[in-house]
Amino acid sequence: MIEYDFIIIGTGAAGLSAALHAAEHGRVAVLSKGAADDSNSSWAQGGIACVQSEEDSIEQHVNDTLVAGAGLCKEGVVRAIVTDGPARIAELVKWGVHFDQREATDGHLEFDLTREGGHTRRRVLHSADATGRELTGKLIAAVRAHPRIEVLEHHFAIDLVTTAKLGFVSEERVVGLYVLDEKSGEVETFRSDRVILATGGCGRVYLYTTNPQIATGDGVAMAWRAGATVSNMEFIQFHPTCLYHPQKRSFLITEAMRGEGARLVDKDGNEFMQKHDPRGSLAPRDVVARAIDHEIKRTGGPCVYLDISHKPADFIIAHFPNIHRACLEVDIDITRQPIPVVPAAHYQCGGVLTDVNGATSIRGLAAVGEVGCTGLHGANRLASNSLLECLVVSKRAVDFILQKLPVGKPHTQSYDIPAWKHGDAQDLDELVVIYHNWDEIRRLMWDYVSIVRTNKRLQRAAARLRNLKREMQEFYWNFRVTSEVLELRNLVETASLIVDCAVRRQESRGLHYTLDYPATENAKPPSDTLLRRY
């Protein structure tokens, strides 16, 4: 067994910041199933929402978050995370992260804050339109330089090991995990009393997504198999504006562009958002995504358009240099032409149920960032609150886990985790079946479980997913594990959790909109959708 004081799975903003905090107290292993810089966080364009201006307040940020969350946010959690935000921003600056600044009226420099949909104030800190790249780049450098942190790239976490799995009937807690070393093909056993899931989301469950290839719901699936409670997986946020072009299927057009005056228009150049919401193009994401979906279906066109060409060219290029460059690569000049856009799966608001400290229902196991469901986002995430949650909850998770399980003190008996056994498994030579099933899952989720749902569509998805799960189990037990097999296993599990939660919510709320129950249920207090395995 390989032992560490902390094992952190994931190298996005949540995992990297957790590693830096944990390293102050012990040895840390950070696992990444790909390269360390391949994460959802590194793709983030918009920025981090945080109160930084005298014209803003904690109360206003809290209220904007509650309004966007459609009645399901946990107000105490929202207040705690928003209040902790400024300290975490100061910490990022100390670690070398650069945010754009401007000269104030009195001549001193201040953060150049922007505004996004659902926000009533300018409070989004950014680094041009590549905030995630700036943030994760600086955090990765700090993590690699730390003597107590070991970054293990191309190490795919397979499953968590708990006391229950080892046959102990005492309090259930995590004691380690099995990890595939993708380079050697061998499965290693890792031992730790403190495991932090920071694996990001599940956007690749859908045919169209703004997420990178790695976003296959691994953390939620692992935690579910280990017995952790999962909550609100029906709330999948579809970003309204993903570039519609065959050469750049996953390229996001940041919401900050609408915050700076870009307008959503149809093929004839007519604005349409005012017909759907008085806030127009700055309405929350769920409203905008449904409006675009409605316009596409109404007109029969393949997309709508985002137009910022009425702004000065210098302004556009200065604020959105990466989007300008990427669009030019496919012959779209955003200073003169509207951008073709469609909604795409972007963010999971549900996940492994945690408190504000990232603590799950399994002792010693934390879930931070997109993989966790703290109650911050409710039924719909307010733009740019995600990176804020990553930073705040990762710090709180390390502090809380140390309070319950201090490093250096014996907490339980010594656990001997059995080595992984391949048995008679053979090498997988039928990759075509894996790829076919992967495509089928993503297409059925897009067709049946996307922006607008019905009971009939959900039932069809559930029936096919049950069959796919059986097929996947045969692959898992009869073949030697590979990253392709593990990702498909997690995709099927996560897709099934989304469908199960969607079936249980018999109302339309936030990101979950169903034609069978179009009204939001007001007769009783809104409740979370909880799934418990045992």
509 φ, ψ to 5°? -150, 130
Record the tokens describing residue 463, joined without a space. 């029936």
Task: Return the SS3 of 178.
Answer: strand
CA 20 to chain centre: 20
Distance CA 207, CA 230 (A): 23
263-265/304-307 β-pairing: antiparallel
* Exposure of 471 in the CB half-sphere (CA atoms within 13 A): 15
* Exposure of 261 in the CB half-sphere (CA atoms within 13 A): 10
Distance CA 128, CA 479 (A): 46
39 and 53 Cβ atoms separated by less than 8 Å: no
Give the DSSP H/E element, type plus range, for residue 483: helix 483-504
Q: Is the dihedral of CA 441, 447, 448, 449 positive or negative?
A: positive
Q: Let me know if 285 is a catalytic residue.
A: yes
Of 204, 285, 290, 381, which is the active-site residue? 285
Distance CA 471, CA 377 (A): 34
* Exposure of 415 in the CB half-sphere (CA atoms within 13 A): 28
Cβ-proximal residues to 210 (8 Å cutoff; 6+ apart), any chain: 43, 203, 239, 242, 250, 251, 252, 344, 345, 346
* Exposure of 238 in the CB half-sphere (CA atoms within 13 A): 28
In the 8-state DSSP scheme, what is residue 475?
H
321 and 128 Cβ atoms separated by less than 8 Å: yes
List residues bridging with 7 in a β-sheet: 29, 195
DSSP string, 411-456: -SPPP-PPPP--TT-B----HHHHHHHHHHHHHHHHHHSSSSB-HH
In the 8-state DSSP scheme, what is residue 203?
G
Nearest residue to 491 (alpha-carbon basis) of 161, 194, 263, 207: 207
Record the tokens describing residue 220, joined without a space. 């939620």
Distance CA 462, CA 446 (A): 13
Q: Which residues are catalytic?
A: 285
